[in-house]
Amino acid sequence: MKISILGTGLQPFGRHDGVTPIEMGVVAAHAALDDAGLGWNDIQLAFAGSLEVLQPDTMIQHMGLTGIPFTTLYNGCATGGNLLLSAANAITAGAGDIAIAVGMDKHPRGAFSVGDTLESIGLGQWYGETGLALNPQYFAMKTKRYMHDYGISETCLDLTAVKAFENGSRTDHAWRRKAIPQDEIARSAMVCDPLRKFHFCSPSEGAAAVVLCRSDVARRYATRPVELRADVFRTRSYGSFETLSPSMPVKSAPSPSVQASRAAFEMAGIGPDEIQVAQVQDTEVGHEIMHLAECGFCKDGEQEGLIRDGETKIDGRIPVNTDGGLLANGEPIGASGLRQVHEVRRQLLGRGGRNQVPGNPRTGLTHVYGFPGVSCVTVLSV
């Protein structure tokens, strides 16, 4: 069965002092419902996800107690992707015709802490006590090795950040709306070599929601539904290099992002060269660069030329993270993947405003990646 997207909405990402994540989820859900021209009474299935909120389904008290099944899930930074997939799968299974997926989060300032009990994520407490168990270290070390193997320069890192903040400066709902000059990025404080302050996204607050339905009923609700051509979730294979890994095998394997994007292209029946706008996980610039290759947009090492030539900018060959991505919006983990869907849909409907990709793009891709080696990729089209 085919699935269509009827509406999307955000509680714009940033800092919202005094606003609870549940309240932000409610704002995003109403925005998505308004966009779809539907009410909460029309929703037959709901899915919500969050890192910080134990039970995001408690938002139903504020939406209205309609008795619908409301599933919660959490898959690290891939939560948003799996929320959409799970909602689509439930519709495909016949559980209902119209569903909503809502992601929300509200993180403290600063780097993510692994918390009191590393055992709860399958690791020993020693791993955090000794100053390992830090995502930025992993991002830096994968980037460092990639630069060594494929000749990616520090300039390429800086240009990727320049592009992110430039796109953010054109996006009314972005958190970071100020363009940052290349030399300021290149001189910013080193966080984990080779990655500097302005190379990283920050944890933030916000929510995103998507209303979706069976494609054969979509025309009742929308004149221009966006089709979910593919939605794939993959966990890592033995041999991929993942965050929070006390060891990794010498034997190597493609990352979960590679596995998910390949399967998504197969499901959609198109190739990466047909994608006209993409949102890829840019926790920091190194991973945006590596994810370009992992998602099939170029070969390893070709990013250096691609980025220097401006091909990932809004008017480039493959515009990436057109709303500024995670760098300009921050990452409320539960919501991040659905923000990507919101942005790609805006672009496909020609609603991109000052950051609209030229040439009426008809196909887009979203990609999230996170701990412990999980990735979701969607292909969307109009």
Partner 1 sequence: MAKRTPIDAGLFAGSLDVPRLRGSRCRSCGETTFPAQKGCPACTAQGCEEVALGTRGLLWTWTIQHFPPPHPYAGDADNFEPFPVGYVELPDGLRVEARLLGCDAASLEIGMEMELVLEPFARDEDGHEVVTFAFQPVSS
Residues that bind partner 1 (CB under 8 A): 110-116, 118, 124-126, 128-134, 137, 140-142, 144-145, 148, 189-195, 238, 245-251
Q: How far is the CB of 263 from partner 1 (least distance, A)?
A: 21
β-pair type (98-106, 205-214): antiparallel
Q: Could you tell me which of 341, 349, 343 has the C-alpha nearest to residue 87?
A: 341
Q: Which is nearer to partner 1, 108 or 271 (CB)?
A: 108
Please choose, from the candidates 222, 320, 324, the residue with its C-alpha nearest in 3D space to the C-alpha of residue 12. 324
Output 6 or 156, the one with its CB closest to partner 1: 156
Residue with Cβ nearer partner 1 (1 or 248)? 248
Q: Shortest approach of partner 1 to residue 73 CB, angstroms? A: 23
For residue 137, give both structure tokens.
Answer: 């270290």
Nearest-approach distance from CB 127 to partner 1, in angstroms: 9
Query: How far apart (Å, rounded) are the C-alpha atoms in residues 128 and 260?
Result: 30
Residue 199 neighbours by CB under 8 Å, 6+ apart: 157, 158, 160, 161, 185, 188, 191, 284, 285, 286
Q: Which is nearer to partner 1, 105 or 231 (CB)?
A: 105
Q: Which is nearer to partner 1, 251 or 359 (CB)?
A: 251
Outline where DSSP puts E strands in 77-117. Answer: 98-106
Measured from the CB of residue 247, what is the shortest distance to partner 1 in angstroms?
A: 4
Distance of closest approach, residue 221 Cβ to partner 1, in angstroms = 45
Burial class (CB in 10 A: 0-12, 13-18, 19+), 169: middle
The least distance separating partner 1 from the CB of residue 322, rounded to whole angstroms, comes to: 30
Q: Which is nearer to partner 1, 195 or 277 (CB)?
A: 195
d(CA 196, CA 92): 44
CA 37 to chain centre: 25
Question: If residue 139 lies in a helix (H) or strand (E), which one and from where to where?
Answer: helix 135-150
Lay out the sheet containing 98-106: strands in order across. Answer: 70-72, 45-49, 98-106, 205-214, 3-14, 226-235, 374-381, 363-370, 277-279
Reported as type and span, the H/E element at residue 116 is none
Nearest to partner 1 of 230, 374 (CB atom):
374
Cβ-based nearer residue to partner 1, 20 or 188: 188
> What does the alpha-carbon distance between residue 210 and residue 380 come to, in Å, rounded to a whole number?
13
- Minimum CB separation of residue 307 from partner 1 in Å reads 22
Instruction: Find the shortest distance in angstroms from Cβ 105 to partner 1.
Output: 17
